[in-house]
Copies of this chain bind each other. A is one copy, B any other.
Amino acid sequence: MAAPDHSVSLEDKFGLVAQHWSPRVVGEFNDLLVKVVKAKGEFVWHKHDEMDEIFLVTKGKLTIKLHDGDVVVAASEFFVVPKGTEHCPAAHEECELLLFEPAGVVNTGDAAPGDLTAPADPWI
């Protein structure tokens, strides 16, 4: 996709997303995609063996369950799950967050593909 010639509004992009746990691509720089995700309920325990995963919360509050305990990430906070670390994101109330990932990442990582496994890298 050609570089856009205008800024991208996260509010506009989140407004296009109805489905929870289904990342949508809204930008690209170098070899990374910028993704918006709406989260509500509990995701699935998984890990990404090759990738640290940054969760940058822009609205609401995300809980990242780790085997060592929970990390709560509020709006305007971020947390990095190191590669190979099992985690399970969850949100009591709907929250909004950004991810920064290379193309081709499967959102459910090493977990068995299931209902929460999203299509790879759809742009909106």
The answer to whether B76 and A29 touch across the interface, beta carbons within 8 angstroms, is: no
The answer to whether B82 and A10 touch across the interface, beta carbons within 8 angstroms, is: no
Chain A contact surface mostly: strand
Which residues on the B side are within 8 Å of A10 (C-beta)?
76-78
- Encoded as 1 (CB less than 8 Å from any B CB) or 0, chain A from 1 to 39 comes to 001111111110000000000000001111010100000
Which residues on the B side are within 8 Å of A91 (C-beta)?
none
Copies in the complex: 2
Classify chain A: how many residues form its interface, as a range.
20 to 34
The answer to whether A7 and B52 touch across the interface, beta carbons within 8 angstroms, is: no
The answer to whether A7 and B72 touch across the interface, beta carbons within 8 angstroms, is: yes
Which residues on the B side are within 8 Å of A58 (C-beta)?
76
Q: Knowing that A7-B73, A9-B77, A32-B32 are A-B contacts, what are 6 other residue pairs whose CB atoms are under 8 Å apart, sorted by A's residue number?
A: A6-B71, A7-B79, A8-B77, A27-B54, A32-B100, A58-B76
